[in-house]
Structures are given as C-alpha cells and as structure tokens.
Amino acid sequence: MNVLVVLIPISLLLGFIGLLAFVWTVRSDQYDDDKGNAARILLDD
C-alpha cells in the first residue's frame, strides 16, 4: 500500500495541471468562437 503515497499525489498533480491548462484557455478567450475554431483547422496558414 506504500505505493499510494506516491501515486495519489501524482494523480492529483496531473489533474491539477489539467485544471490550470483549462483556466488558461478560459482566460485567453478560447471559448468565444467555437464554430470559428472548428473551421480554422482547415486553413493552411
């Protein structure tokens, strides 16, 4: 069971990094134009 001492903090840390990434996307207006973002992937430049 000692492995839990390592695994639990790691899993929490990974989740926390994901959360921070999400907060960053919110703050940089990345949810303002979902249709446009879906279409932009087709642009070459």
Partner 1 sequence: MTAACPACVAIPDVEDLEIGPGLKFSIPAIHCAACIGKIERGLRDVVGVNSARVNLSLKRLTVVGAANPEHIQDALTDLGFEAYPLDIEALNTARDTVGRSLLTRMAVAGFAMMNVMMLSVAVWSGAADATRDLFHLISAAIALPVVAYSGQPFFQNAWAALRVRRLNMDVPISLAILLASGMSLFETLNGGHQAYFDAALSLTFFLLIGRYMDHRTRSAARSAAKELTALEVQKAQRVVGANIETVPVVDLAVGDVISVPTGARVPVDGVLLSLTGLMDRSFLTGESAAVNATQNAPLQAGEINVGATITLQATAVGEDTSLRRMAQMVETAENSRNSYTALADRAAQIYAPAVHLLALIAFVGWVLATGNARHALNVAIAVLIITCPCALGLAVPAVSTAAISRLFAMGYLVKHATALERLAEVTRVVFDKTGTLSIPTINLPEAMGQTDRAVAKALAQASNHPTSRRLVTALGGVDAADVSDIHEAAGQGISGTSLGDTVRLGRGAWIGADFDGLGFRAGNSEPVPIDVVERPRAGAEDAVRTLRLPAEIITGDAQEPAMAFGKRLELPVSFNIRSEEKLRLVKAMSDQSDRVLMVGDGLNDTAALAAAHASMAPASALDASRAASDVVILTDSFAELPLALKVAGLSRKLSKQNFAIAAVYNCIAIPVALAGLATPLAAALAMSASSITVLLNSQRVRYTK
Q: How many CA atoms lie within 13 A of 11 on its CB side?
A: 6
Instruction: Compute the distance between CA of residue 31 and CA of residue 12 in angstroms, rounded to an integer.
Output: 25
Q: Which of 2, 3, 23, 28 binds partner 1 (CB under 8 A)?
A: 23
How far, in Å, CA of 25 to CA of 22, rounded?
5
> Could you say whether residue 30 binds partner 1 (CB under 8 A)?
no
Kindly tell me which residue out of 3, 6, 10, 42 binds partner 1, with binding defined by CB under 8 A: 42
Output 6 or 40, the one with its CB closest to partner 1.
40
Tell me how many residues contact partner 1 (CB under 8 A).
26
